[in-house]
A and B are shown apart, each in its own frame.
Chain A
């Protein structure tokens, strides 16, 4: 059975804050509901077990067509520096701010 500890582990791997301590407060009943909803969905997946897929090759894309690659150069040019800087959440002059990477 998919349990709360699995949910905690997965949300950590997915870099999503679903904090245990906040269960009652900020995330409210939604936290419990998230677990119950996921359990229901996994239960639905069980039906796939009855289907025999021995010897079937996995289908990995939208069609069996081959991807078409272009030469590794851009005819558009890259994004302009100003455009990227404008989109950046925290900017100080020409410096882009992020929190410390190392503790």
Chain B
């Protein structure tokens, strides 16, 4: 086995190889750890490796297979998991000092489902602290590099997961997306990232950031792999009251071209603005041309309230953050400082345990929820949120899917935006409205021509937004886009 085998592996290819006994689950898991050992020194994608557990799990699977047990889609597949998702007995820090040394006491529902499906967990990946950021620079532990250019960020907040998949340090990964945290790093690192419909995937065991926006989703090398992972982790869960009974049939994994061709795609004028980097603009043109060649019809649409989405989001999200993060006080678990009395202890634990961006958002949230400002900010933002959702409702009467860029630029340089929060926030303007409206959206790498060696080297993603619970539409188009020559 060589590292080049690893570089080639998708979930689908791994599954074929395992079925044809080209390799064992143990061999591949071991090969991944060897390669991570060598390569992750440069990338810093992982915060923690679960080598012993993973190898033991892979060995168990090989024994079961030798006994004739059936191979499922995810049997033995080595995955990387964002460090805000709980795996029983393993560290989970959310890249924060306040959870340093904390070990998860139960499995997140998505983890339990993946364990059932036979997946192997290689380790936990770096992220912006408590998923707050767009570059993974807000991790208190390390800076993750973009595998395509080590001077640039991998995006965030699921930057470790995106970088791990892009650098072949895992076959696929899980991330979480509150305002673009799966799709933007997927775009920056050249991988596929799916933010499912609000309610499609359980968040039980995800360290909550903003509960009306958070979703867990896959980061993968192909759209087909994203569909496989998504199908496994979705569905009703008694431990997340927002989950819905989902009924994703065969169309998710085996979309039919005759159905895909009938879909109409909308191009919202508010997303194709003059502020787009020229290479992003060019990339979008090439995607549209390719999809037209499939016979898909395009239509110009308008989402007039798009410009208010950023302000709306930066009121609603911090409000929920300030409530959700109230539980981190250093009393029952996590990092604790020395203090004279209880109030002092809370203040010291939180003042020292949380990083700057987390503190900034807690204060923002406390402000917009405080009496006297509630109506002017929080309540106003909730009304704007409805208007943004109604924009999408109107658009989906005319079209089935909406196509936009994922981010206005390719990956930016490390340190470029870290000193200016507002400019960092602006890198999410195309992904935020989707969370506010609870819609599914996928980021897919634009296939850039390889004939010219001096082509743009940085990956660029395009975003497909679907109707509620219509992941099959966006993943279906994506699967046919991937197959085009």
Contact = CB atoms under 8 A, between A and B. Distances in A.
Max chain B Cβ within 10 angstroms of own Cβ: one of A2, A10, A17, A67: A17
Given A48-B308, A48-B312, A59-B383, A14 B363 contact: yes
B350 A99 contact: no
B383 A30 contact: no
Contact of B311 (A40, A44, A61, A99): A44
Contacts of A92: none
A21 interface: no
Interface stretch (B37-45, B129-137, B331-339): B331-339
Contacts of B342: 98-101
A82 B345 CA distance: 24
Contacts of A62: 198-199, 211-213, 242, 435, 438
Contacts of A58: 379, 382-383, 385-386
Interface in A45-66: 45, 47-48, 51, 53, 56-63, 65
B334 A89 contact: yes
Contact of B421 (A6, A41, A53, A83): A41
Interface in B197-213: 197-199, 211-213
Nearest to B354: A16
Interface string B308-327: 10111011000000100010
Given A10-B367, A51-B384, A15 B360 contact: no
Interface residues on chain A, size class: 35 or more
Interface residues of B, number: 75
A16 B366 CA distance: 11
B98 to A, nearest CB: 11
Judged by DSSP, the binding face of A is loop
Given A18-B359, A38-B360, A68-B244, A99 B305 contact: no
Interface stretch (B100-108, B257-265, B445-453, B476-484): B100-108
A7 B238 CA distance: 40
Interface in A72-87: 75-76, 79-80, 83-84, 86-87
B382 A51 contact: no
17 contacts: A15-B329, A16-B350, A41-B314, A48-B384, A51-B308, A53-B380, A58-B383, A59-B389, A62-B211, A68-B241, A68-B242, A69-B241, A79-B105, A84-B105, A87-B332, A87-B333, A101-B341
Given A15-B350, A68-B242, A99-B342, 10 more contacts: A15-B343, A34-B356, A48-B384, A58-B383, A58-B386, A59-B389, A68-B244, A79-B105, A84-B105, A98-B342
Interface of A: 2, 6-7, 10-18, 30, 34, 37-38, 40-41, 44-45, 47-48, 51, 53, 56-63, 65, 67-70, 75-76, 79-80, 83-84, 86-90, 98-101, 103
Shortest Cβ-Cβ A-B pairs, 5 listed = A17-B351, A58-B382, A62-B198, A89-B336, A59-B386
